[in-house]
Structure 1
Amino acid sequence: MTDQAQLHQQLIDRMVIDGSLRTEPWRRAAVAVPRHEFLRGGYFRRVAGPQFHSAWEPVQAGDPDWLDGCYTDESLVTQVAGTIVPEDIRGPITREPTSSSTLPSLVLRMLEDLQVEDGHKVLEIGTGTGYSTALLCARLGDDNVTSIEYDPWVAARARTALGHLGTYPTLVTGDGLLGHDAGAPYDRAIATCGVRTVPAAWVEQTRPSGLILATVGGWLGSSELARLTVHEDGTASGPLLGGAVSFMLARPHTPPPLGLLPDLDDGTERETATGAEALDNWTARFVVQLAVPDAQRLTMQRDGHTEDVLVDVSTGSWATVYSDGGRWLVRQGGPDPLWDAVEEQFGRWCAAGAPALEEFTVTVTPDGQTIHW
């Protein structure tokens, strides 16, 4: 057995043991698709960077530890800053990741959760490297898979990698939030990017009783996997599945630049019973996010204490919360009192017994999306 084959088999064995790879059809698909073929352009590895920043250094195909990295059960960054790929640089770079190869156990867990059956047509939003697309093709056949990628460069690399393996699904370059009406209706839709709201187009293009699997999140950085069933009336609903699943947001759903911050010494100050713990816990932050969906968070050191700041760029509203002498204080300004909304939503959730995210339901109608417990 070659080193590559041995590493591949070890990865599959780990996914079987941890429960992400649960059924024989998907195990056969995982065996048929070598992950390293989708990482021949290299990937970035996290290294220590300046304070408050992540630095990334390139690992190229042919480097001594490149192949080992390809078969680790980790997400591997393949692009930073929207355009920069591993072969573009030598040495670390401190920019934000914009594309990656998701850890294989999550890819296979999601494909298992998609509950496909032989003959199903699947719409995939977010081709990425093409690894998950290849798995879908190995399971269902090329003719039953349509995959959309927003970034033309990423799409081209995926097309090349898939072609190298003799895999030819329908590949579309464009805005995945619009779906691909030409191939509709689909039995299943799956998104490998995060969304703030599930687009109506996905519901419209999925046949009744079909399933949509998507990670729903927001600008406060908490997200969760949702599995929605499409109904005859054109709506869709279903539970969050749990597991603290996180993906990069679809680029049209990314937050706007914060720009110049408001004067945080202005505004009205008062005591609050809801402190920063509402922002630090994954589930609580998801709840808060529902109350202030357009707010972004930053943490600052001011006047000898740590302040958690929420800013809504669209309205100019802001709130800053901090601890002083054993009590929590909030100061807020702008047209909408952000922390008032946080307190109300967080309080209702606590009063309900702080239900887990698996007890939440997502509903999508032509009028928009709601999430409730």
Structure 2
Amino acid sequence: MTQTHSAALRRALADRLAEGGLLRTEPWREAVESVPRHEFLRGGFFEQVQGSAPTAWRPVLPDTDGWLKRCYVDESLVTQIAGTIVPGDIRGEIMRAPTSSSTMPNLVVRMLEDLQVEDGNRVLEIGTGTGYSTGLLCHRLCDEQVTSVEVDPEVSRRAGTALGACGYFPELVVGDGLAGHKDSAPYDRLVATCGVLKLPHTWVEQTKPGGVILATLCGWLYSSELARLTVEEDGTARGRLLGGQISFMLARPQLPPPLGMLPNLDGGEERRARLGADVLDDWNTRFVAQLAAPRAQRISLSRNGRTEHVLIDVEAGAWAALAKDGDDWTVRQGGPTLLWDAVEERVTQWRSDGAPDLDQFEVMVTPQGQTIAWSS
């Protein structure tokens, strides 16, 4: 009965994804209808406790009523918290940050379609996670054509168990996904299921000329976008952002450092701001701001009877504190660079060029680094 029920749930999921325009081709539809997502969630998942502050999570295990149906709801399901804690470890609630999840199926499918996989392609996946997307790749291609890298040994082990239970045996590697996996290179396609501040050139080196790299580019202000790049003969990669406000957990080696002791926010130089901190509430504007300050983190503080919005670049030792003064904003800045000056300059230039959508932004990766610029 469960097998028949899960097959019906998979077909229903495929129907919803197709109706939404995300599941566009028959090979991927067949994969979605064939690969049982619930097998990759046998360890359960966490659900958010509504109304909790700070956010609390509680486990949903396979013996919980409605577990199977929840596995086929189009939502991301948290599978690990605080780097080691899985649902079976908890009785009650936990207030820690998620560190691994089963990505919502519509995003998984959208990325696999956008990867433009062709028969016979060899694919490197960065971030095995639960293994569900790995299973879809194996079904679409074959085990020997799929390599998946996961930084967490226990996450990789659980994924391998689930994949084996479904009859899939790809090459699973435990290691830093930012380094790729050169032993099985070159690849025709590379897809990353984690966010990165900068796309590593090692990924370009391990992808064949003409091959495609699909990855989510992010910053510590947490506006991120999916980018698709084609590798060139000269060892560079070029492409565009695809738009759609895609969000993934950052690759663990690129997580922001602890803020530590805050700087003296009463120091520095104060002036009237040309742009207020509220511009960062807009996704596209925040992405542009990140281009100027990719390693800045944002916090809000209540001081002296008002709210201050603070950007801090811990590594550079730079900071900017903004507060509303009537209808205007003021900014104080300190450190070796003026963070808010850089943000204002970049955002103002973008707006003067007509504020092009993020899918008009071009990305280039060379051995010297990454550049992102918009077409005006």
TM-score tier by shorter-chain length is over 0.9
The equivalent of 1:253 in structure 2 is: 254
Instruction: Give 1:6 deviation, angstroms.
Output: 2.3
The equivalent of 1:185 in structure 2 is: 186
The equivalent of 2:16 in structure 1 is: 14
Distance, in Å, in 1 between the alignment partners of 2:336 and 2:50 is: 40
Distance, in Å, in 1 between the alignment partners of 2:246 and 2:90 is: 30
Query: Does the Cα contact within 8 Å between 1:184 and 1:206 map onto a contact in 2?
Result: yes
Query: Does the Cα contact within 8 Å between 2:268 and 2:332 map onto a contact in 1?
Result: yes
Distance, in Å, in 1 between the alignment partners of 2:348 and 2:7 is: 53
The equivalent of 1:243 in structure 2 is: 244
Distance, in Å, in 1 between the alignment partners of 2:92 and 2:238 is: 47
The equivalent of 2:75 in structure 1 is: 74
Partner SS for 2:56: strand
The equivalent of 1:326 in structure 2 is: 327
Distance, in Å, in 1 between the alignment partners of 2:267 and 2:94 is: 37
Show the 5 A alignment for 1:338-353: 338-353=339-354
Residue type of the alignment partner of 1:320: A
Partner SS for 2:154: helix
Deviations 1:250-304 (A, max 9, x none): 0011100111111212221110121123211101000000101111111122222
Residue type of the alignment partner of 2:27: P
Distance, in Å, in 2 between the alignment partners of 1:228 and 1:262 is: 39
Distance, in Å, in 2 between the alignment partners of 1:49 and 1:13 is: 32
Distance, in Å, in 2 between the alignment partners of 1:273 and 1:212 is: 38
More off after superposition, 294-303 vs 223-232:
294-303
Unmatched runs of 5 consecutive residues or more in structure 1? none
Partner SS for 1:48: coil
Distance, in Å, in 1 between the alignment partners of 2:266 and 2:105 is: 47
Show the 5 A alignment for 1:228-239: 228-239=229-240
Partner SS for 2:49: strand
Asked if 1:44 is matched to 2:62, the reply is no
Query: Does the Cα contact within 8 Å between 2:149 and 2:177 map onto a contact in 1?
Result: yes
The equivalent of 1:23 in structure 2 is: 25
Q: Alpha carbons of 1:294 and 1:240: their partners in 2 closer, same or farther (altered >3 Å)?
A: same
Asked if 1:355 is matched to 2:356, the reply is yes
Count of aligned pairs between the two proteins: 372
Partner SS for 2:119: coil
The equivalent of 1:137 in structure 2 is: 138
The equivalent of 1:146 in structure 2 is: 147
Deviations 1:39-70 (A, max 9, x none): 0000000113653x211111011100211210
Unmatched runs of 5 consecutive residues or more in structure 2? none
Instruction: Give 1:5 deviation, angstroms.
Output: 2.4
More off after superposition, 262-271 vs 74-83:
262-271
Distance, in Å, in 1 between the alignment partners of 2:72 and 2:40 is: 11
Normalized against structure 1, the TM-score is what?
Answer: 0.98
Q: Which structure 1 residue ranges, 4+ long, deviate > 3 Å from structure 2?
A: 48-51
Q: Percent identity?
A: 64
Distance, in Å, in 2 between the alignment partners of 1:345 and 1:39 is: 43
Query: Does the Cα contact within 8 Å between 1:121 and 1:145 map onto a contact in 2?
Result: yes
Residue type of the alignment partner of 1:20: L
Query: Does the Cα contact within 8 Å between 1:49 and 1:94 map onto a contact in 2?
Result: no
Distance, in Å, in 2 between the alignment partners of 1:263 and 1:61 is: 51
